[in-house]
Amino acid sequence: MGIVGVATRVAAGLLLASVPFAAGLVAVGHAPPAHVEIAGQDVSVRPVLGQDTSRLFNGALVRPQHQQLAGKHVGVDVDADFNRLAPTDKRTRKYLVGLWENPLPAIDLIASAARRHLLLWGAGGFVAGGLAVAAVLGLGWQRRRRLAGYSPEQAEFVARHNRRLRYTLVVAGVVGALVLDVLAAQVWLHDDHRTPVANPVFNGTPLEGTQVTGLLADVVPFLSVLRPQSTFYDHVSRNLEEVVRAQPELAGEDQEVVFVVADDFEDVNGMARQVGLTGKLIDADFVALTGDLTFAGKQLETYVLDTIDYYTGDRPIYFAPGLHDTHTIVDAARARGWQVADGTTTEIGGVRLLTAADPRISTVGNLGTADKLRDPNLDVDGFVAATIERACTDRPDFVLLHDHLLGQLIAETGCVDTAVVDGRSFDFVGPQEVPTDTGPPATELTLGSAGGHVDTKPNPGIIENPARFAIVYADPEHHRARYAVVTVRPDASVTVTPPVPITTPYG
């Protein structure tokens, strides 16, 4: 074989070898955007190779954040309906204050969507290109094998007969591979550098360094929803971390199952952050929520769930919906993989937990004046009877539900081995002895508002009153439990009581 033949074979080999990589790059560069839900809205996410910024709303917001991939900058183009994320309606904007004050969970969702997009389309393109190369090589090998079965004269005749078709296919394949390489080179060599001119509106916030351009620059200073109120909850988080580090006993003992439990955020996103962060700091086994995560139960309020997810990490979340947790909120919780109450008993590390959703749903978010039944076929009396029947059959360690008045009825049966945990109380009542007809008194642990509320008026911003939630330590072998109370005050100070037996009154 001459030099020309060797060179041709080498060139063909290199061209074939480039196809999978080129296909992966082209797939990444030309794929449709990924989609993620933020505050109930569909947000498109498109990673861009060679871009060293992240751009929102077609470049109306430009952030310096980006990632590196094999030495290349990877930025993100994000698009959504800005009018829905910053609506003109004052009441609706109030629900979204917490999202703009702490956009880190939303940013994490966007970054995760971008990483998945790169991985899936890049790997998919590479595999498709690899399969194409394998098909070409396989057809070539099959052709040679079949020709080898003919006599030399027959093989020459067949080769001569198919020469035009073969050359046409080879030329088409080479041209196709070259076009693919050119497109891949364009994707790889794309270089879009921009140095954002930071807008002072965002100074001291997680969006610091973001540039605002175009008409949005004229609007931002007048939209309170885009001017975070303060770094209040950043201070709270730092104080919480210091308190937990100073009290190593908050991590619990080896034989204990530890969980953080909270009630009644009603859109106070900053306190949802503290509950999730506490679970992470003490390495809790799970987080339990006894309802009223939002005020109106609307899709746009679901960013509160994303905040809890973001700060708890990968810990399981057990959720007993309250009156303000509409079907929309319940569906959003299930979509995030939460364990939503269904009236059955689950075992976690030896602890048996019975969770039950409140049978009513508040209509306040739609300007209603009364509650409606969650299940038209199950009223309050039926709910209590069904929960009592399940508790007396399963003998759970804990029952988790929202309303302390209903929780008391369940505790009175004496069928719950450790405690009924409930809420719907603005004040943190703590453990109470509940008389039973069957023996010793039962324990009901009633939580206060983790959103610091003293009435039903929504206040999604900085707490105006102490906000409290609890850490529970359960010893499943001896059916004993302890609890500690976390208190966040309006001056951003944080205290955590030492763990005491769950039969010890609070205060």
The domain limits of the chain are 3-189, 232-501
Query: Residue 173's pLDDT is what?
Result: 77
Beta strands at 317-319 and 286-289: parallel, antiparallel or unpaired: parallel
Q: With 60 as the cut, is the pLDDT of residue 1 above it?
A: no
If you average pLDDT over residues 85-92, what whole number do you get? 66
Query: Residue 317's pLDDT is what?
Result: 98
- Which amino acid is located at 113 in the chain? A
Going by pLDDT thresholds of 50, 70 and 90, the confidence category of residue 227 is very low
With 0-12 / 13-18 / 19 or more C-beta atoms within 10 angstroms meaning exposed / middle / buried, residue 393 is: exposed
Question: Under 8 Å CB-to-CB from 92, ≥6 apart: which residues?
Answer: 300
Answer with the residue of higher pLDDT: 467 or 57. 467
Query: Residue 365's pLDDT is what?
Result: 67
Among 69-78, 122-131, 152-161, 287-296, where is mean pLDDT lowest?
152-161
| CATH class of the structural domain 232-501 | alpha beta
- Dihedral sign for Cα 364, 366, 371, 377, please: negative
Answer with the residue of higher pLDDT: 138 or 246. 246
- Which amino acid is located at 16 in the chain? L
Query: Residue 449's pLDDT is what?
Result: 96
Query: Residue 221's pLDDT is what?
Result: 54
Answer with the residue of higher pLDDT: 137 or 368. 137
Q: With 80 as the cut, is the pLDDT of residue 9 above it?
A: no
Task: With beta carbons less than 8 A apart as the criterion, state whether 198 and 208 touch.
Answer: yes
Among 73-87, 157-171, 213-227, 468-482, where is mean pLDDT lowest?
213-227
Question: Under 8 Å CB-to-CB from 497, ≥6 apart: which residues?
Answer: 484, 485
Place of tokens 């109450």: 341
Stated pTM of the model: 0.86
pLDDT in tens, 276-303: 999 999 999 999 999 999 998 989 899 9
Task: With beta carbons less than 8 A apart as the criterion, state whether 274 and 488 touch.
Answer: yes
Cα Dmax for the chain: 103
